[in-house]
Amino acid sequence: MTGGYIMGRGYTPETCIDEVKKALTGLGGRASAEEILLTVRKKGHWSDETVWQCMESNTINFPPACRHNTDTDSKFLFLREDGNYEFYAPKWHGRYERGKRIV
């Protein structure tokens, strides 16, 4: 442990993904990318790029993110038409494959 935080992570042992989930929950379940970024930034020393990539790669309806990570079971974010994020709920948002809605 160095300087009060675990190297490569935040001030607590949570991962960037954990902190994005906590941030969205703390922001009421719906928030802009900037709000999530600012909240996560306070929790650790991840770079802005790392947080952005974490959010993009875990967004179910963002086709470019599916180029590397095709596992839809691990994706937990949904990007709304108004530009805000919310937790992905298949029963509400539908099912997605490679970033495109299939049902």
Is residue 8 situated within a structural domain? no
Rg from Cα positions in the chain: 14
Residue 42 contacts residue 11 (beta carbons within 8 Å): no
Q: Say how many domains are in the chain.
A: 1
Q: Which residue has the higher pLDDT, 3 or 32?
A: 32
Q: What is the pLDDT of residues 5-40, one digit of tens each?
A: 444 555 566 899 999 999 999 999 999 999 999 999
Mean per-residue pLDDT for 66-84?
A: 83
pLDDT at 4 over 70: no
Q: What share of the chain is helix, strand, coil (3-state, %, to 5)?
A: 40, 20, 40
Is residue 95 situated within a structural domain? yes
Is residue 74 situated within a structural domain? yes
Q: In what helix (H) or strand (E) does residue 43 lie, and over which residues does it extend?
A: none
Sign of CA dihedral 44, 46, 48, 51: negative
Is residue 85 situated within a structural domain? yes
Q: Which domain range does residue 70 map to?
A: 16-101
pLDDT at 63 over 60: yes
Task: Return d(Cα 13, Cα 43) in angstroms, integer.
Answer: 11
Give the percent of the chain with pLDDT over 90: 55
Is residue 88 situated within a structural domain? yes
Task: Return d(Cα 11, Cα 8) in angstroms, integer.
Answer: 10
Is residue 56 situated within a structural domain? yes
Which of 50, 42, 64, 61 is closest to 17 using CA atoms? 50
